[in-house]
Structure 1
Amino acid sequence: MKKIFYIALFAAIGGGSREALNLLVSWPQHFWITVIINVTGAFLLSLITTLLPARLPVSDAVITGLSVGLIGSFTTFSTFTLETLTLWQQGQTSLVLTYVGTSLGLGLLAGLAGNLLSQHWLPKEAA
């Protein structure tokens, strides 16, 4: 029951943060904010799941709330998919390839960076 509480609590924060960024950033091609959100989420998810359990006395319920609730509601594969399909239907093939390649490439690199950074901050015996 604690996990559900933390997921719901952090999901409100993550979803609210995502919408706040969408409102603050008004780029002509709005899909780039999705790239930034998803890449940031990949980095933070790696940090949260690797570093927090080893460095702080945080319960599994809180870690799940942060990863599933906060990061899960902040990032979104469905938006990425819809924006990709919209660009494809508009005939913007090169932009589709750029968007997909950038999202996946930077997302993987951000996840790796988060993992490596958390490994650096872990105590020697935990790493």
Structure 2
Amino acid sequence: MRKIIYIALFAAIGGGCREALGLLVSWPQHFWITVIINVTGAFLLSLTTTLLPARLPVSEAVVTGLSVGLIGSFTTFSTFTLETLTLWQQGQTGLVLAYVSASLGLGLLAGLAGNLLSQYWLPEEGR
């Protein structure tokens, strides 16, 4: 039950942060903010799930709340999908390819960077 409470609380924060960031950044092609959000989320998710439990005395429920709730609600695959389809329907094939490539490629690199960084910060016995 505690996990659900943590997920719900952190999801409210993550969703609010995502919307606030979207409102702060007004680019003509707003879909690039989704790339930044998803790449940042990939990095933070990898870092949080690897490093946090090893370095701080937090429960599994808190880690789940942060990863599923905060980061899960901050990043949105559904937004990525909708924006990709919208660009496709508008006939912007080049932007579709750039958007999908940037989202997947940079997301994977950010996840790897978060994992490698957390390994660097882990104590020797946790590596």
**Same topology, TM > 0.5:** yes
2:5 counterpart letter in structure 1: F
Partner of 2:125: 125
Unaligned stretches of 5+ residues in structure 2: none
Partner of 1:46: 46
TM-score (norm 1): 0.99
**Helix, strand or coil for the counterpart of 1:27?**
coil
CA-atom RMSD, angstroms? Answer: 0.3
**Aligned runs of 1:40-119 on 2, under 5 Å?**
40-119=40-119
**Residue 46 of structure 1: CA displacement?**
0.3
User: Does 2:13 correspond to 1:9?
Assistant: no
2:56 counterpart letter in structure 1: L
Cα distance in 2 for residues equivalent to 1:63 and 1:48: 7
**Residue 30 of structure 1: CA displacement?**
0.1
Percent identity between the aligned chains?
A: 88
**Residue 42 of structure 1: CA displacement?**
0.2
Cα distance in 2 for residues equivalent to 1:62 and 1:99: 33
**Helix, strand or coil for the counterpart of 1:125?**
helix
Deviations 1:10-68 (A, max 9, x none): 00000000000011000000000000000000000000000001000000000000000
Cα distance in 1 for residues equivalent to 2:24 and 2:56: 33
Which 4+ stretches in 1 moved above 3 angstroms?
Answer: none
Cα distance in 2 for residues equivalent to 1:16 and 1:32: 18
Cα distance in 2 for residues equivalent to 1:87 and 1:80: 11
Cα distance in 2 for residues equivalent to 1:53 and 1:2: 17
TM-score (norm 2): 0.99
Give the number of aligned pairs: 127
**Residue 79 of structure 1: CA displacement?**
0.2
